[in-house]
Amino acid sequence: QGGSAVPVPAVSGGIVITEVQIAGAQNDNDFIKIYNRGSSAADVSGWKLRKKTQPGTDYSIRVFPSGSVVPAGGSFLWANSEGGFSGSIGANTWSTQTLAKDNSAALFDAAGGLVDAVAWGSGHVGPYVEGSAYPTNPGASQVLRRKISGGVPQDTNDNASDFEL
């Protein structure tokens, strides 16, 4: 049923974006964490993290390399590689891309299907978003986190309701 604006989980239980940091001790200390809500490991080889800037420009953050797996009930972390940041936090994969205020990020499966998306801040032109964007930009060393409900990350398909700082 193509064309749906609401993402459909690519695996049983669903992979969701659970955390986003757009600046840490340095402006490029950025990361995105995904989580496997499913009961079995998920091979995310060839999956794509993308971002849109406030004006709507679309960029590739990272295509996950072969052998990328998110364990059941576990996480997988992309981080910016500048200054050794990705290594310092034990990222599973990395690139030199950065995130910023009023951005959005989306996860696509290997076939190009939208799996999950999150937007933060305001003034977006065509962001990756579920429902409404989380209205506030994370500050330095603040992490935009998905709320936990019933012991698992909440996913109501509304970023404003599902995330908190």
| Ramachandran quadrant class, 83 (left: phi over 0; alpha: psi -120 to 50; beta: rest) | left
What one-letter code names the amino acid at 2?
G
Q: For residue range 116-155, list pLDDT tens digits in order.
A: 999 999 988 888 999 999 999 999 999 999 999 999 999 9
Residue 117: CB atoms within 10 A of its CB come to 25
Q: Residue 149: what pLDDT?
A: 92
* Spatial distance between the Cα atoms of 57 and 48, rounded to a whole number of angstroms: 16
3-state class (DSSP) for residue 88: helix
Q: Residue 125: what pLDDT?
A: 81
Q: For residue range 83-112, list pLDDT tens digits in order.
A: 999 999 999 999 999 999 999 999 999 999
Q: For residue range 26-74, list pLDDT tens digits in order.
A: 999 999 999 999 999 999 999 999 999 999 999 999 999 999 999 999 9
Six-digit token pair at 97?
């891309």
Q: Residue 13: what pLDDT?
A: 54
The dihedral through the CA atoms of 153, 158, 162, 165 has a sign that is positive
